[in-house]
Amino acid sequence: MGRRKIEIKRIENSIERKATFLRLRDDIFKKADALEKLCHVEVNVLVISPTNVPYTYGNPCFNDVVEHIQNPSASSKLDSLMKELEHIKELEEVLTKRQQRNREKSNMKRIVDLKLEDLVAFKRKLEAFQAGLKRKHVEMEYFSSPSMLSKNTKKKKIRTEFLPDRAGSTRFARQMGLKNIKWICPTAPSRPITILGGMETNAWFDIAEISENMQDDVESLNRAALSIANLLSEEPPNIMIGIGGTGLGAAQALYLASKSCYDTNQRLQIKPRVVIGLNGWLPVWRSLQNNIASNPGGRDRPISLPILLTHSNDVVPYEFTHKCAHSLLMAGFQSTLRKYEGEHNWDEVKQWLRHYLGL
């Protein structure tokens, strides 16, 4: 027995008619949705209820489909824009995922949140920081070793010797061009330096800043002073000894020279003839006068020791250098301070050495 064919005719019962309308309307919308998805077409359905209420279905949008029919060229542009928008959204998703991975690897501020001018300013600051860090590193590595010289007092001539090092002391020695001088240029040990962010370089002691209120690494200063004094003790007794350096090397040389005038350790009493500190400072400068005064016979030692301090750059504040020179004067040393703009007057430095060494 086959299925009975349902007669298509108006349903007179209003309640049944309304229920049938709702059921068939939903069926039509479902089929329209399936047609759009299966065939990738634009679908519009307009149904007006028995009570004159319109119901619409459209994909992607009822009005867009109508506009497409009425104005095909505008619809084409819209499609193009929609595709471009979808492509942009895909790119944004990829970029967001990549940024998320980068944030997981780094604690830096999200660069994507910065404006263009902020990015440019950040780039300049980073480059300036890198340049400053490199400059400080070069200065500390280039000038980390003190120079020591010795002059034979009995012979008129002595071989001039430059011992190899990684610092700039040998360059200074060659620039002086003094004969009958033996230059000893030891290399400082490698250590992490606080002012360089923990970067390792050759330095006699650690520093966190260079100012009159800086905390001195006294333990390392004493260790280096003893090491340098032991090195000088190997020189013959009939010579004049001078010590000096640039930057950290100058600070170490000034510390050793001043300490040799009041310390009771016999190994530190090296009795230098001259001391030169180029662009340096005196560690523990505030307590020097008391240290000299509290040592028996200490007041007489500085009088015979000439010291030359120079200042030619902004690595060490000039006010700090001036206070160090004044501290040496108050302690009884023959301290001389020379300020230069940009470059040292090497002829003046050479003349000072010749005068006090009798060259």
The separation between the first and the last C-alpha atoms of the chain, rounded to the nearest angstrom, is 136
State yes or no: pLDDT of 137 exceeds 60. no
What is the structure's pLDDT at 4?
A: 63
pLDDT tens digits for 7-26?
A: 778 888 888 888 888 888 88
Q: Report CA-CA distances (Å) from 186 to 148, 165, 244, 308, 332.
A: 9, 6, 12, 21, 29
Ranking 135-144, 237-246, 275-284 by mean pLDDT, the lowest is 135-144
> From the centroid of its chain, how far is CA 38?
60
**Axis crossing angle, helix 248-259 with helix 218-232, rounded to the nearest 10:** 70
Distance CA 234, CA 249 (A): 20
Tokens of 273: 């003839």
State yes or no: pLDDT of 36 exceeds 50. yes
Q: Report CA-CA distances (Å) from 161 to 29, 152, 178, 249, 341.
A: 101, 13, 11, 19, 31
14-72 is a CATH 3.40.1810.10 domain: yes
Q: Which of 237, 181, 227 is nearest to 204 (CA)?
A: 227
Q: Which of 277, 273, 275, 276 is nearest to 240 (CA)?
A: 273
What is the structure's pLDDT at 157?
A: 36
What is the structure's pLDDT at 182?
A: 79
Superfamily designation of domain 134-357:
Alpha/Beta hydrolase fold, catalytic domain (3.40.50.1820)
**Could you tell me the residue ranges of all domains in the chain?**
14-72, 134-357
Distance CA 63, CA 60 (A): 9
